[in-house]
Structure 1
């Protein structure tokens, strides 16, 4: 038994666990059918290729994205969306009026009637392209609530970030008319009602469509492969893959495989052809997932390949199939946004 190998953990819905040790450093890669659910590229840029800025210089402002639960939405191009200060102030006034008008109709937010809802559009500091243009617009909605004992101070009820980070690098996609702006990724967190009304206003104002993004097992496989090797030092989270169990099995609903980041990174290095700055191939992603599932099968005799991958966790981020996202490192925010941009643009034709 080799020293320093991973201890996989099997967790069911009753929080039972089993542990074992194995050696996968000599794994050479066995082939199996890897069927994509949607059109996927043959390769993607690595973390280093996708990052165009020094994290040391711009990592601090992007901490606003870290350790918060976001939901990912995809957005079609916005018609006549402008980013100058005057336009952003105008959008703030118009959205504020829209939210207040909806509240006056007697439809408040989740807790009490909305009083004085205010929206603010502003550029995200630190999220700029190589020419210094902003690639992120943050929409913040605050409100006073008509509750007994309220001090009158506003509270944030919605935060939404429109991101176009990476679109200029992804040259395989159609060039837009000058009247359109592409902000394909929308990250949101907050109350459901103001979110729904804000989305409705954006769709009406800029003739776009916005819908929740879902990530299929192929999307999640790419993320776990590309982000496994990112090390956050002693704070690095282990690599996790959560699978849903077929409904014919009544005793449990999910199985989660957990592997220490160092061991998962060693396995990835055995599979990835080339250096850390080289692109990642779809065959490597398929082989990596197969290796992890085979590793699990050796110890528990459970075929994870017969189940559906629902959630992944890496030192960089945790992502769920329902579009839930939690970024764990400020230095990796651009990496995550770049990858989300690529996935959303590939999936753009699926917005109904």
Structure 2
């Protein structure tokens, strides 16, 4: 049975109010840049546009999200491989209007289909039903907006008369531990859910994005998980091994030779953990009087680079092949998998908050300003 969602799901209010003209008179890029520009001139976005990943982040800690998130929703998030995109802040989006948005998107899909656009789903009938709901329990910071889940249902062509419709497309928008300076700089009419995850036909994905763009004056873009972010994930996931066995650390590298060479490198989990433990700084040595424990237990980019260098050095000693000349394209452990192409799959809910915190940061940095 589906859990009923509260209509009180929050769309965070912000401290900066910037006057905005009607949606019809300005494109997103004009209006959004003017808003952020005004906030910047008031010193509300200091240095955020440096466009680089954090050099230090908290070490992963276990989150028992099963106690907070609807089990059916969590099962969907966990069993699916998601294609990532970034999405700019949504103008006048309200979490209390999700039922209305569901009807609007259903009508939009029907209208697009009547125009002959590619919204066909193999084996499905022409009618689609949309469900948009809140995924409560994913919020980690006061400025984060509640995660939103979108599902599109349809009945198979040869299904029995009384057989219910089945999900044929799923997607969700989220913001987990978003940059507080940036989020607070946004005008109050903007809701920031920068990470968009989708699973399903490209035609339906394009239609959903088009509806969001037209309804909330936003824009979407591709989001790759670049070389540096993949190295971060390899280190963060390995750091979890003591509490949740990673079972293996599998990496796929590509080397710029002719023809291109793809290398699959699988590391025993105990060897990976020993190497990671050897490069980790002792929090007691790094700590100073009065520092918080969470700040002490942080991971620096230098540790990540030293860990990766150790892995590459081990590979070179055995195969005389220098992975430093190539690029990391995929990382897989028992906790999840991530690909340079922007595909992510989470296999352990205890550390999904850590993973999506990094991906939220990637989405915010990729957005045009």
TM range (shorter): 0.7 to 0.9
Alignment partner, residue 228 of structure 1: 238
Alignment partner, residue 137 of structure 1: 148
User: Which blocks of at least 5 consecutive residues in structure 2 are unaligned?
Assistant: 1-50, 284-292
Alignment partner, residue 340 of structure 1: 359
Q: SS where residue 128 of structure 2 aligns?
A: strand
Q: Which shows bigger deviation, 191-200 or 230-239?
A: 230-239
Q: Structure 2: how far apart are the matches of 1:233 and 1:67?
A: 21
Alignment equivalent of 2:345, drawn from 326, 331, 339: 326
Q: How many residues get paired?
A: 303
Q: SS where residue 311 of structure 2 aligns?
A: helix
Q: Structure 2: how far apart are the matches of 1:181 and 1:246?
A: 42
Q: SS where residue 153 of structure 2 aligns?
A: strand
TM-score (norm 1): 0.78
Q: What does the per-residue CA deviation read over 1:206-263, in whole Å, with 9 as the maximum and x for residues that have no partner?
A: 111112211221111111112212138786330111111324146xx31011112222
TM-score (norm 2): 0.75
Verify the 8 A CA contact 1:317 1:326 in the aligned structure 2: yes
Relative to structure 1, the CA distance from residue 75 to residue 133 in structure 2 (aligned partners, 3 Å threshold; closer, same or farther) is closer
Verify the 8 A CA contact 1:124 1:134 in the aligned structure 2: no
Alignment equivalent of 1:263, drawn from 271, 275, 299: 271
Q: SS where residue 285 of structure 1 aligns?
A: helix
Alignment partner, residue 14 of structure 1: none
Q: Structure 1: how far apart are the matches of 2:88 and 2:77?
A: 22
Cα shift at 1:55: 4.1
Question: Structure 1 residue 46 and structure 2 residue 59: aligned?
Answer: yes
Alignment equivalent of 2:326, drawn from 296, 307, 331: 307
Q: Structure 1: how far apart are the matches of 2:144 and 2:360?
A: 17
Q: What does the per-residue CA deviation read over 1:156-206, in whole Å, with 9 as the maximum and x for residues that have no partner?
A: 111101112212xx3243521100000011111111111110011011111
Q: Which shows bigger deviation, 192-201 or 338-347?
A: 338-347
Alignment partner, residue 89 of structure 2: 77
Q: Which shows bigger deviation, 241-250 or 301-310?
A: 241-250
Q: SS where residue 66 of structure 1 aligns?
A: helix
Q: Which shows bigger deviation, 210-219 or 269-278?
A: 269-278
Q: Structure 1: how far apart are the matches of 2:273 and 2:309?
A: 15
Question: Structure 1 residue 89 and structure 2 residue 102: aligned?
Answer: no
Q: Which shows bigger deviation, 186-195 or 293-302?
A: 186-195
RMSD between aligned residues: 2.6
Q: Structure 1: how far apart are the matches of 2:243 and 2:304?
A: 24
Verify the 8 A CA contact 2:120 2:126 in the aligned structure 1: no
Question: Structure 1 residue 101 and structure 2 residue 78: aligned?
Answer: no
Q: What does the per-residue CA deviation read over 1:251-288, in whole Å, with 9 as the maximum and x for residues that have no partner?
A: xx310111122221221111121349522111111111
Verify the 8 A CA contact 1:239 1:258 in the aligned structure 2: yes
Q: Structure 1: how far apart are the matches of 2:228 and 2:195?
A: 19
Q: SS where residue 79 of structure 2 aligns?
A: coil
Mapping for residues 160-309 of structure 1, pairs under 5 Å: 160-167=171-178, 170-173=179-182, 175-231=185-241, 236-249=246-259, 253-275=261-283, 277=294, 278-309=297-328
Q: Structure 2: how far apart are the matches of 1:219 and 1:173?
A: 21
Q: Structure 1: how far apart are the matches of 2:213 and 2:69?
A: 32
Verify the 8 A CA contact 1:66 1:326 in the aligned structure 2: yes
Question: Structure 1 residue 58 and structure 2 residue 71: aligned?
Answer: no
Q: Structure 2: how far apart are the matches of 1:184 and 1:176?
A: 13
Q: Structure 2: how far apart are the matches of 1:101 and 1:43?
A: 48
Question: Structure 1 residue 120 and structure 2 residue 125: aligned?
Answer: no
Structure (1 or 2) with the greater helix fraction: 2
